[in-house]
């Protein structure tokens, strides 16, 4: 059985279940997680071997290696010792840093582009807003894209279009959905029509997820649907501002903070509608294809979203949920009110959502497609 090293510098933030689940669903390839640091209190990865290869503690050596694009001898040795056939790196930002070592190990690499790593404006990185080292990220990403042994996977057609606009050659990019584990995310709890009129929001409290827009829209919904509820799962820099706004608007919002996938699933089993009113942030950051939208539909919860990648790929508008234009407050309020108050329409959307998720986004099916990409790249890398 061939082996793939799945690289993520930080193993693994609790929000990155998609990395773990995709690795765990491989059938023809044996995965091993490789990273620089283990995240304290992070995501457990039972059954998947992992290797931590810390960077040198000598700052000067680390800095010189980075700025000169030199390989890390310890990482090169570890990759060789693992006898892997391919390195799969999540996020372009990690890929540009690990590529010199992967190249020195003589291995091909495929990079999954998820969203922020390709959507954020080049000028934002180059101005140093992402940190000193990230100033060279756009240039190194495009340099890396010219390497014969480097290929890319876009998590949605929207991400692929953006990657092409960025300057990555189209023939080096495959589109491959990650998918959702429909064995885990299944309908449960009360029938949708019998649930409280609860809206569920899951996402980091950051600009592109638009948590403040969500609260303002909820305030308008509450003025017409007094028994409507809003539960917000997620942590981040806008949490305090979101809590303050809810207080100013005098609307009861339940802020649950970050939660594990099983706790999120529990919330989905109690929600009438899932809402992700995403926008394009000022620096260009935007969604790729939020897994949470797929998870909600797999559990039978209709979705309302403006997420890039979600509106034209991640739902069936008018059937499994409702899509609206970014920032269109009135359209968002109308969509939420309809699914909260029209039980028959919500029930129909629930049935359609489960069928859509199972037919279009089954993780196992998409992992077989990913393995085909692995096999093609590993074969090409031998020649």
In a shared domain, residues 204 and 329: yes
In a shared domain, residues 156 and 305: no
In a shared domain, residues 160 and 232: no
| CA 230 – CA 271 distance, rounded (Å) | 9
**Predicted pLDDT at 382:** 62
Q: Is residue 187 part of a domain?
A: no
Q: How much is the CA Rg of the chain, to the nearest whole Å?
A: 21
Domain that holds residue 109: 2-179+362-381
In a shared domain, residues 284 and 332: yes
In a shared domain, residues 124 and 31: yes
Residue 381 scores a pLDDT above 70 = no
| 54-70 pLDDT tens trace | 998 899 999 999 999 99
| 127-142 pLDDT tens trace | 999 999 999 999 999 9
Two structure tokens written together for 16: 């990155």
Q: Is residue 143 part of a domain?
A: yes
The DSSP 8-state label assigned to residue 130 in this structure reads T
Q: What's the chain's average pLDDT?
A: 95
Would you call 110 helix, strand, or coil by DSSP? Answer: strand
Q: Is residue 33 part of a domain?
A: yes
| CA 358 – CA 183 distance, rounded (Å) | 10
Number of domains in the chain: 2
**Predicted pLDDT at 72:** 97
321 in Cβ contact with 150 (< 8 Å): no
Residue 187 scores a pLDDT above 80 = yes
In a shared domain, residues 273 and 326: yes
In a shared domain, residues 153 and 301: no
Q: Is residue 121 part of a domain?
A: yes
Burial 345-373 (b: 16+ CB within 10 A, else e): ebbebbebbbebbeebbbbebbbeebbeb
In a shared domain, residues 202 and 315: yes
Q: Is residue 320 part of a domain?
A: yes
Nearest to 18 by CA among 369, 376, 363: 363
Residue 150 scores a pLDDT above 80 = yes
Q: Is residue 185 part of a domain?
A: no
In a shared domain, residues 45 and 110: yes
Q: CATH number of the domain at 332, please.
A: 3.40.50.2000
| 31-87 pLDDT tens trace | 999 999 999 988 999 999 999 999 988 999 999 999 999 999 999 999 999 999 999
Q: Is residue 184 part of a domain?
A: no
Q: Is residue 317 part of a domain?
A: yes
In a shared domain, residues 156 and 298: no
- CB-neighbour burial class of residue 326 (10 A; exposed 0-12, middle 13-18, buried 19+): middle
Residues in the chain: 383
In a shared domain, residues 7 and 89: yes
In a shared domain, residues 210 and 160: no
């Amino acid at each position: 059985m061939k082996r793939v090293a799945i690289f993520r510098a930080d193993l693994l933030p609790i929000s990155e279940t998609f990395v773990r689940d995709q690795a765990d669903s491989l059938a023809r390839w044996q995965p091993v997680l490789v990273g620089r640091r283990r995240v304290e209190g992070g995501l457990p990865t039972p059954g998947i071997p992992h290797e931590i290869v810390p960077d040198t503690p000598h700052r000067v050596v680390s800095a010189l290696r980075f700025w000169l694009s030199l390989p890390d001898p310890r990482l090169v040795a570890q990759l060789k010792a693992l006898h892997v056939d391919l390195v799969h790196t999540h996020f372009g930002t990690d890929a540009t840093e690990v590529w010199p070592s992967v190249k020195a190990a003589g291995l091909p690499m495929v990079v999954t582009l998820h969203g922020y790593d390709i959507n954020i404006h080049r000028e934002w990185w180059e101005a140093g807003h992402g940190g000193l080292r990230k100033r060279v990220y756009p240039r190194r990403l495009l340099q890396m894209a010219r390497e014969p042994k480097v290929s890319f996977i876009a998590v949605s057609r929207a991400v692929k279009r953006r990657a092409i606009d960025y300057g990555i050659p189209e023939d080096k990019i495959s589109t491959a959905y990650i998918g959702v584990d429909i064995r885990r995310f299944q309908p449960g709890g009360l029938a949708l029509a019998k649930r409280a009129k609860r809206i569920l929001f899951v996402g980091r409290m950051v600009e592109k997820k638009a948590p403040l827009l969500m609260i303002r829209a909820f305030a308008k919904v509450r003025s017409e649907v007094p028994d409507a509820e809003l539960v917000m799962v997620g942590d981040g820099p806008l949490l305090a501002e979101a809590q303050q706004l809810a207080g100013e608007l005098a609307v009861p919002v339940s802020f649950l903070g970050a939660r594990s996938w099983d706790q999120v699933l529990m919330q989905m089993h109690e929600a009438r509608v899932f809402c992700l009113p995403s926008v394009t942030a000022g620096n260009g950051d935007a969604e790729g294809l939020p897994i949470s939208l797929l998870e909600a539909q797999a559990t039978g919860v209709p979705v309302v979203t403006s997420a890039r990648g979600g509106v034209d790929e991640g739902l069936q508008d008018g059937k499994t949920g409702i899509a609206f234009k970014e920032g269109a407050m009135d359209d968002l309020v109308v969509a939420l009110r309809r699914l909260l108050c029209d039980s028959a329409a919500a029930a129909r959307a629930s049935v359609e959502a489960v069928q859509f998720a199972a037919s279009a986004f089954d993780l196992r099916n998409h992992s077989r497609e990913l393995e085909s990409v692995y096999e093609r790249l590993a074969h090409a890398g031998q020649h």
